[in-house]
Amino acid sequence: MNTTKNDSNFFRILQEPIPLLNKKMRDHRHLTALMFMMSALLASTEWIWDYITDPSGAQNTIELRLMFLGLLAYPFIFKQIKNRRIIEFIAVTSGLIATIVFVEILNRLHNGISQGLGIFIYLLFLPLLMFQGLSLRINLISTFLYAATPQVLALFGLVPHFPYNQYAAMIWPAAIVLMITHYIFAQNYRRRYELEQALELASNTDSMTGLSNRRHFIPVLRNEIVRGHRFRHSVSLMILDIDNFKAINDAHGHPTGDLVICTLAEICRKTARQLDVIARLGGEEFAILVINAPLQNALIAAERIRAAVANTQLTNFDGFEFSFTVSIGVAEQPKENDSEELLINLADAALYQAKGAGRNCVMASTPTCIKPLATYMNELQQG
């Protein structure tokens, strides 16, 4: 049973979600660029090692060593390229080409393959340092490819006198250890990512209803207003308040008050559109951001919510049956203004008027005044 669980965890780590991969790429982009630059300098300056081991053969490796200086351009390439898959392809392909070039460099040196086997271990360590921003699947594949490439080239006769046994004894244990290390790194990163996601969700979510809280809602409202102005989309806001909520708490206790709050949250979820953003601003006050909808559409949605609440019968923990109502103020963001505070104030003023008009009603905040829903809709139909 433990084996099955470990196997499922392994395949779960391999199936990294796209948001995790995108964040991993952002987090490690700078490290990847830095390691490419360092590798370019190290690989090119290793010509000194060529000269020390074989002065005459080193004359034939200069141009190959200079090829590695091309890696200096990669930090600038990665800065411009945002597509993660393209970056993965470039990084892995570059590592494979680098391995082939190293093999050719060693071929041009006297006893180069025998003396330079340690270089292949260095190549295996590159993904561990350079490819932390890539997926675990890519890291495992690249490690295997870089370990197998010299042997494959030797099988095709491109590496004379290749020491198969010595290479296998040195490289493959190191490759297996590095693959395990990649897995451990990926698992640790995923745990950290999931913990960060859970903390962010907790900080942005109302614990009782599961809706957005004020901390999360206000920035979303601000962004949607800016986006609405840019693309000429209407943005409307409802502010809802449970009528006589204090009286409900006083008469039936706080558990009943919590039941009322959760019931309203569920009605809002079922009635609002999927793209709308629902939040509990605090206490018995809720808000719904109606995206890409003019005032009349938001008013129709608000009336559906009001009616659904009024027609809902609840039974509290003592078996007492009761109902409750909400008052709703609705406003549309003025075209000439992009302040979220103005929209909130307009909707809040309409809510205040709904409370004053007897509660259990919807009020519309227009550019000139606040009107009941029926009055506004009649004027709209009459043109």
Amino acid at 39: S
Mean pLDDT to the nearest integer, 73-89: 85
Give 151-188 as a DSSP string: HHHHHTTSSTT--HHHHHHHHHHHHHHHHHHHHHHHHH
Domain assignments of the chain as residue spans, ordered by start: 2-202, 212-381
How does the average pLDDT of the chain come out, rounded? 89
Which segment of 164-173, 284-293, 364-373 scores lowest on mean pLDDT? Answer: 364-373
Q: What's phi and psi for 175, nearest 5 deg? A: -65, -40
240: nearest Cα among 278, 209, 286, 284 = 286
pLDDT in tens, 51-61: 998 999 999 99
Residue 266 falls in the annotated catalytic set: no
pLDDT at 114 (0 to 100): 82
B/e letters for 104-131, b = 16+ CB within 10 Å, e = fewer, are: ebbbebeebbeebbebbeebbebbbebb
Mean pLDDT to the nearest integer, 224-242: 93
| Residue 335 predicted with pLDDT over 90 | no
| Residue 1 predicted with pLDDT over 50 | no
Burial class (CB in 10 A: 0-12, 13-18, 19+), 87: buried
pLDDT in tens, 91-131: 889 889 989 999 999 999 988 888 888 888 877 887 787 88
| Residue 23 predicted with pLDDT over 60 | yes
Mean pLDDT to the nearest integer, 207-217: 94
pLDDT at 117 (0 to 100): 80
Higher pLDDT, 137 or 124: 137
| Residue 136 predicted with pLDDT over 70 | yes
Query: 354 and 330 in contact (C-beta within 8 Å)?
Result: no
pLDDT in tens, 246-276: 999 999 999 999 999 999 999 999 999 999 9
Please tell us whether the domain made up of 212-381 is placed in CATH 3.30.70.270.
yes
pLDDT at 3 (0 to 100): 46
Residues with Cβ within 8 Å of residue 56, at least 6 apart in sequence: 110
| Residue 8 predicted with pLDDT over 60 | no
pLDDT in tens, 269-306: 999 999 999 999 999 999 999 999 999 999 999 999 99
Higher pLDDT, 208 or 75: 208
Dihedral sign for Cα atoms in the order 347, 353, 355, 357: negative
**Local structure of 363: helix, strand or coil:** strand
Please tell me the distance from the alpha carbon of residue 8 to that of residue 4, in angstroms, as a whole number.
6
* 381 band by pLDDT with thresholds 50, 70 and 90: low
| Residue 372 predicted with pLDDT over 80 | no
- Write down the catalytic residue from 46, 284, 332, 340: 284
| Tokens matching residue 225 | 């207003």
H helix or E strand, kind and range, residue 315: strand 314-315
| Residue 10 predicted with pLDDT over 60 | no
Mean pLDDT to the nearest integer, 232-237: 93
Residues with Cβ within 8 Å of residue 163, at least 6 apart in sequence: 113, 114, 117
